[in-house]
Amino acid sequence: MNVNGKYYQTVWMEGEHVLMIHQNKLPWSFEIHTCTTYQQTCDAIRTMIVRGAGAIGAAAGFAMAQAFIQTDDANPENIVNAKRLIEGTRPTARNLFYAVEKVFAAGLVSVENAVAEARMVAQKDIEDSRNIGLFGSQLFGARTRVLTHCNAGWLAFVDYGTALSPIYTACDQGKKVFVYVDETRPRGQGARLTAWELHNEQIDHQIIPDTAAATLMAEGKVDLIITGADRIACNGDTANKIGTLDRAILAAYYKIPFYIAAPTSTIDQQCDTGEDIEIEHRSEEEVLFQEGPDAEGILRKIKVASEGSTAFNPAFDITPSKLITGIITEKGILKAQGRIIRPMMKKLYKNN
Ligand code: MRU
């Protein structure tokens, strides 16, 4: 996508370096962060300088390629340790493991092969996201009010995104789209990142506090809900940003179609159901403090909670397949109805 008239991807590799848009600085400043070693790329994933399922996957694939460049062939244990370090950065996003496994296997042939595979993983992420946009746009009528949670736009992938890709495509097709944006807490990824993306693309939208979603749905103001996914089990149960489950329950109550948009690389054939998905718990600081620029534009953290209290901060929740109307993939829209989806998922995964 373009920023100030120039084309950018969220994450890319130049020589031995991995470059990425610094997402913790958005929307206040647009900066490119450079990682010269795989350890630095791991830190960038852990601290969420790069975040979002597909972008984490691409960054992890590039980190694996950097590890092959840096590692001395004489001790094969080093590369296995590097793989473990990369895989330990964030546990929930399936795409991280998908990319690392692919690049690791390629790197056993040669370093050049590892770099080429990492680039291919990133390129496939772009193509998949683009196709998700084409399929997902079929869900949009001439006028659609859509709600999306957190950020599953181009910043969360290498380009286009998943939940936002159908919105971009529908707008390109001349359809009128209005987007309600939430995840204002704990990290504000909707308020900061999705709103920034939509503003850049001049798409009509409004940020809503997470607690306003029910009211909007009760008032009949939401036609469609689309969110992303970090990991999808074989029965269609889906892990996504905390708060996705609330929206799915509300959607079922108010009979609003609720879709997950994700590439098939997010499906985990090792997970039969959502119970098998590991949920990351993040620092309680994310709940107790908020970050933003002061009047001089300096980024500051301020406490927004009572002194002496602790906080519970799971990063993701699991939405059961029975609450999901369908899963928009790069191969088409799957109906997520428990028993039907399992063989479809396994077949799609094999053809990946
Ligand atoms: O807090 P984040 O940015 O890690 O949350 C990410 C999301 O929930 C996205 O919706 C998710 O990665 C799925 S789509 C990229």
Q: Whose CA is nearest to atom 5 of ligand 1?
A: 241
Reply yes or no on whether the pLDDT at 342 is more than 80. Answer: no
Ligand 1 proximity of 224 Cβ (cutoff 6 Å): no
Q: Yes or no: say if 193 and 180 are a contact pair by the CB < 8 Å rule.
A: no
DSSP 192: I
- Residue 299 maps to a domain: no
Domain shared by 107 and 17, yes or no: yes
Reply yes or no on whether the pLDDT at 107 is more than 60. Answer: yes
Instruction: Tell me the β-bridge partners of 302.
Output: 290
Reply yes or no on whether the pLDDT at 341 is more than 90. Answer: no
Ligand 1 proximity of 191 Cβ (cutoff 6 Å): no
User: pLDDT exceeding 70 applies to what percent of the chain?
Assistant: 95
| Cβ-based burial of 25 (10 A; exposed 0-12, middle 13-18, buried ≥19) | middle
Ligand 1 proximity of 114 Cβ (cutoff 6 Å): no
Which of the listed residues 130, 165, 183 is the one where a domain comes to its end? Answer: 130
Which of the listed residues 73, 104, 130 is the one where a domain comes to its end? Answer: 130
Q: Yes or no: say if 265 and 228 are a contact pair by the CB < 8 Å rule.
A: no
pLDDT digits (tens, 9 = 90+) for 208-227: 999 999 999 999 999 999 99
**How confident is the model at residue 339, as a pLDDT?**
46
User: pLDDT exceeding 90 applies to what percent of the chain?
Assistant: 92
Note if 230 is an active site residue. Answer: yes
Mutate to test the pocket of ligand 1, among 48, 51, 259, 324 (most ligand atoms within 8 A of CB): 51
Domain shared by 97 and 192, yes or no: no
**How confident is the model at residue 347, as a pLDDT?**
64
- Residue 247 maps to a domain: yes
- Residue 301 maps to a domain: no
CA atoms within 13 A on the CB side of 240: 36
Reply yes or no on whether the pLDDT at 73 is more than 80. Answer: no
The mean pLDDT value for 190-215 works out to 98
76 — pLDDT class (breaks 50, 70, 90): confident
Reply yes or no on whether the pLDDT at 340 is more than 80. Answer: no
Of 65, 50, 39, 38, the C-alpha closest to 120 is: 65
Q: How far is CA 282 from CA 21, 186, 279, 312, in A?
A: 22, 10, 10, 9
Reply yes or no on whether the pLDDT at 200 is more than 90. Answer: yes
Q: Which domain holds residue 89?
A: 2-130
Domain shared by 8 and 120, yes or no: yes
* CATH code of the domain containing 246: 3.40.50.10470
